[in-house]
Amino acid sequence: MSLRAANPVWLGLDIGGTKIAVVLMDQELRPLSGEIFPTQTADADALVAGIETAVCAALTAAQVTAGQITAVGVGVPGLVNPATGEVHLAVNLNLQHYPLGTVLTERLNAPVYLENDVRMAALGAFQYVQQQKPVSNLAYLSIGTGVSAGLILDGQLYRGSHGMAGEIGHIIVDPAGEMCACGLRGCLETIIAGPAIARQWQAACADFDDEKEITAVSVYNAAQQGDPSAQTVIEHVSTTIARAIQWLVMAYDVEHIVFGGGVAKSGAAFLDPVLHALAKLSAGSPLAQTMLDAEKMMLLPSDYNAATWGSILLARKNHKPGLSTEI
């Protein structure tokens, strides 16, 4: 009997623009080890070498060998083709038309399943919510450097015809608004993405110290500490997020919206103004009050890595034992 068959493990990877998170789990989905390494984005070789380093560290920490890996799930921040394992475009990883799935399959000597990172996180969020109560439909709204939604519809991951379903960051909110990097004007991302939140506060503060690094988190912190200009920015951002939530709920009729991404990491400082904006938006409408009930809006615990969970769940779901590379 092979070692793999004896003590098989699953590997989940979440490759972000700055960090790679790796998790190893056993057959019963008990975590064996977890590692976080910086992402190498100089070129594809550096990226892959960095992934190998992270995986080796996780294997060592869990005292398992590469041969025990049954399958690997990999979340990638970009447009991927799960069928071919190709990354079409991942700007933050400096990748375009790169066969990441094939390369990692060779290096790790195990089947590799790729998917967009927000979809992986949606699968992870779905698993988390399912453990509390049965649900069928859920949207994972990721607000970070970019904005997009991962969708579980009728219990299944929904990708759309070109893997673009849920790419709501480029939905036009304000036709007279700011130019977006995509070439449109007034996209959702130009208001609620992390860099946009920072930019709006910077613009609101005339005497701003240019040297100071502003992030969305620092705007949320300042708003909580009573800074009026930061509060104005967060109110505008939250009102726009409430509109995006209304679209998601009316479009998909989901039971839950789960928030993720760097901006949502501000926790209650993020969620409270969003709930306030939703209540204000719904005030005159019984339909909106029902559809946008605060109970539907969820943050995951900060120690639950939805994307690595989702990566392992996807690998488990897609893996056909007959196709594994037995040692």
Task: Please tell me whether residue 281 binds a copy of itself under the rule CB under 8 A.
Answer: yes
Asked if residue 304 lies in contact with residue 123, where contact means CB atoms within 8 angstroms, the answer is: no
Candidates 167, 223, 313, 315: give the one binding a copy of itself (CB under 8 A). Answer: 167
Task: Please tell me whether residue 91 binds a copy of itself under the rule CB under 8 A.
Answer: no
Task: Please tell me whether residue 92 binds a copy of itself under the rule CB under 8 A.
Answer: no
Return the range that interacts with a copy of itself (CB under 8 A); candidates 32-40, 52-60, 80-88, 165-173: 165-173
Q: What is the DSSP secondary structure assignment for residue 161, as one 8-state letter?
A: T
Of the candidates 55, 98, 27, the one whose C-alpha atom is nearest the C-alpha of residue 312 is 27
Which residues have a Cβ under 8 Å from the Cβ of 290 and sit 6 or more positions away? none
**CB closer to a copy of itself, 19 vs 162:** 162
Task: Please tell me whether residue 159 binds a copy of itself under the rule CB under 8 A.
Answer: yes
Residues 6-65 that bind a copy of itself (CB under 8 A): none
Q: What is the DSSP secondary structure assignment for residue 111, as one 8-state letter?
A: -
Matching residue, tokens 């969020």: 125
Of the candidates 115, 126, 114, the one whose C-alpha atom is nearest the C-alpha of residue 152 is 126
Q: How far apart are CA 319 and CA 70, in angstroms?
A: 8
Residues 197-256 that bind a copy of itself (CB under 8 A): 239, 243, 246-248, 250-255
Count of residues making up the chain: 327
Task: Please tell me whether residue 81 binds a copy of itself under the rule CB under 8 A.
Answer: no
Task: Please tell me whether residue 170 binds a copy of itself under the rule CB under 8 A.
Answer: yes
Beta strand pairing call for 256-260 and 138-143 = parallel
Beta bridge partners of 90: 95
Task: Please tell me whether residue 280 binds a copy of itself under the rule CB under 8 A.
Answer: no
Candidates 56, 109, 156, 326: give the one binding a copy of itself (CB under 8 A). Answer: 156
Task: Please tell me whether residue 150 binds a copy of itself under the rule CB under 8 A.
Answer: no
Of the candidates 10, 77, 106, 55, the one whose C-alpha atom is nearest the C-alpha of residue 315 is 10
Residues that bind a copy of itself (CB under 8 A): 135-137, 153-154, 156, 158-168, 170-172, 175, 182-185, 239, 243, 246-248, 250-255, 281-282, 284-288, 291
